[in-house]
Amino acid sequence: MKTIKLLVVAIAFIGFTSCDDDNDMQLVDTTSEKISNLHAPQQGGTDQMGNQSPISGDFSKFDFATGLTTTSATEWDIAFRGTTIIINGGISFGATDEPIRTGESAVYIASGTLASVTGVDVDLLIQDSITGYAILTGSNNGWYTYAGAPTHLIAPTPGKILVIKTRNGRYAKIEILSYYKNAPSNPDAFVDEDNYYTFNYVYQPNEGVTEF
């Protein structure tokens, strides 16, 4: 009987160890990448003379799992058009050409640097809705500051990090570096092309892991 009991304990221990090993093997390293010149054009809006026209045009969608832009109707996490950023979670605000939300993405803006934001506060995550976008639009409301005349520059607000729950429940963080093509160190809104996002991001591919 003692021999049988010892054998059962040994098998249970081996099985427990194997499960731990399997869980360790499933963990994948985070991805840290820089995206340059993600083009997010729009038609209409307010020009430098203050003239306004209706905004339209497709959103440029981005998928953290592949690290690429996509035209998929479902496999995207975040999307850009002009200075507007939307996520694949919640419901449409109703803007022209706005894609339907099919995922569970949510977002909040943390204060700090990409390195200092080391985890996700899930209680702060919100989704797009019919009352507005989770990432607020307008100068000093969300990710950017608009300088107005005479420079008319749009610049990422320092210390603003987008913390994102992806469409399938993973997490990512983004630091937007520039809104102008090739990310000039001293952009000129009258010379440099705008609607080109350059950003750093970190993607946590492991389900349920909220640390970066």
Are residues 164 and 171 in contact, defined by beta-carbon separation less than 8 angstroms? yes
Q: Is the pLDDT of residue 24 over 80?
A: no
Q: Report residue 201's pLDDT band, with 50, 70 and 90 as the boundaries.
A: very high
Residue 20 domain-assigned (yes or no): no
More confident residue, 47 or 99: 99
Those residues with Cβ within 8 angstroms of residue 88's Cβ, 6 or more apart along the chain or in another chain: 61, 74, 76, 77, 78, 79, 99, 101, 102, 103, 105, 166, 167
DSSP three-state, residue 212: coil
**Paired strand residues for 81:** 84
Give the pLDDT score at 7: 38
Specify the range with the lowest mean pLDDT, choosing from 48-62, 159-173, 184-198.
48-62
Residue 11 domain-assigned (yes or no): no
**Phi, psi (5° rounding) for residue 10?**
-65, -45
Percentage above 70 pLDDT, the chain: 86
Domain that holds residue 68: 28-204
The total number of structural domains in the chain stands at 1
Residue 5 domain-assigned (yes or no): no
Residue 71 domain-assigned (yes or no): yes
Between the CA of residue 167 and those of 64, 83, 90, 108, 111, what are the distances in Å? Answer: 10, 21, 10, 15, 23
Residue 173 domain-assigned (yes or no): yes
Digit-coded pLDDT (tens) for 83-100: 999 999 999 998 999 999
Residue 1 domain-assigned (yes or no): no
Q: Report residue 49's pLDDT band, with 50, 70 and 90 as the boundaries.
A: low
Q: Which helix (H) or strand (E) holds 15?
A: helix 2-26
Report the chain's mean pLDDT, rounded to a whole number: 89
More confident residue, 26 or 196: 196
CB atoms within 10 A of CB 110: 18
Residue 7 domain-assigned (yes or no): no
**pTM as predicted:** 0.85
Residue 45 domain-assigned (yes or no): yes
